[in-house]
Amino acid sequence: MSEAHTVRTLSICESIRQAGSSYLDVLSRPGHFIAASAIWIAVAFALSLAVAESSGPLPISGQPRSDQIAINLIDLLAQMALLIAYCLAWQRIVIRRATPLGATYVQVLPRYALYDIAAVMALVVILVVLTLPVIFLVKSRAELAVYLAYVPLLSYVVSLFLFARFTLAFGAAAAGNHEMSLRASWRKLRGSVFAVVIGMLLLIAPATALTMAADYIAAAQADSGPPLARHAIDLLAGFLGFLGTAVGCTYASRIYLKAIGIEPVAA
């Protein structure tokens, strides 16, 4: 079947149904999630722990040291690479249930990573285009601070829209099929993007809320709490983050399969 030409429009009801099925796929088999994700969670936790021990706590006021900036930048890039690799692995697990994969993990990783980098670069370009004019037009630092306070929300909305439009390309790359590029995914999902965004919001909101709560508790314990408690909360935050990622990747994979006319298979 040619995936570049056979793409079905997704309704909001179908998107919501697939979001619910994604939750069910992951949460109904916690042992499967832990077995498939344990090594990834352990590596991410060990990396964060190593960075925390190497750079020390960032100052609440004042500028961080140059070595702290460098170490945390390396940590950010490493965590992003780990997240991309994990997303690819999980999407392949879901897609493999319904249809044979066209290539090995190592063979598809470069294309999948390239798509992620392209999506992030598109996000950066859009944010620069939206924010630079305001920086030059505002008349005071107070007005600039108010505007910049909305940049995280703006980033969230734009990234949600971008990754919704690129959903098919990520699924095709994970499956080893090169017919669906980012441009083709953007075009083919024109009539379904709102439905996909609704489904993504239903998945992201609960996981994000739980992870932020764990991160907030960890930050509150950073100075006064015992080290073991802080590490346990950090590990819980990482676990919740990977759980939310697994659910999101399950949804993206199911949307890809539905779009090309293949019925997703439950775990």
Q: CA torsion sign, 133 to 136 to 140 to 144? A: positive
Per the domain annotation, does 1 fall within a domain?
no
- pLDDT, tens only, 198-219: 999 888 777 777 767 766 766 6
Among candidates 255, 128, 120, which has minimal Cα distance to 193?
A: 255
Tokens representing residue 211 in the block = 């992870």
- pLDDT given at position 176: 92
Per the domain annotation, does 230 fall within a domain?
yes
Tokens representing residue 184 in the block = 């083709």
- pLDDT, tens only, 60-92: 556 667 777 788 788 888 889 999 999 999 999
Residue 165 class from Cβ within 10 Å (0-12 exposed, 13-18 middle, 19+ buried)? buried
Q: How confident is the model at residue 4 (pLDDT cuts 50, 70, 90)?
A: very low
- pLDDT given at position 65: 72
Q: How many domains does the chain contain in total?
A: 1
Alpha helices for 138-226 (secondary structure H):
141-148, 151-165, 167-175, 182-188, 193-224
Where in the sequence is the domain holding 53, given as residue range(s)? 12-259
Per the domain annotation, does 255 fall within a domain?
yes
Q: How confident is the model at residue 222 (pLDDT cuts 50, 70, 90)?
A: low
- pLDDT given at position 30: 87
- pLDDT, tens only, 234-249: 777 778 888 889 999 9
- pLDDT given at position 2: 46
Q: How confident is the model at residue 116 (pLDDT cuts 50, 70, 90)?
A: very high
Which of residues 7 and 173 earns the better pLDDT score? 173
Per the domain annotation, does 5 fall within a domain?
no
Per the domain annotation, does 50 fall within a domain?
yes
Among candidates 40, 100, 98, 14, which has minimal Cα distance to 246?
A: 40
pLDDT at 1 over 50: no
- pLDDT given at position 221: 59
Per the domain annotation, does 21 fall within a domain?
yes
How far apart CA 194 and CA 198 sit, in angstroms, is: 6
Per the domain annotation, does 265 fall within a domain?
no
Model confidence, pTM: 0.83
Per the domain annotation, does 6 fall within a domain?
no
Phi-psi region of 33 (alpha: psi -120 to 50; beta: other; left: phi over 0): alpha
Q: Considering only the C-alpha atoms of the chain, give the largest distance between any 2 of them, rounded to a whole number of Å.
A: 59
Among candidates 14, 12, 13, which has minimal Cα distance to 257?
A: 14
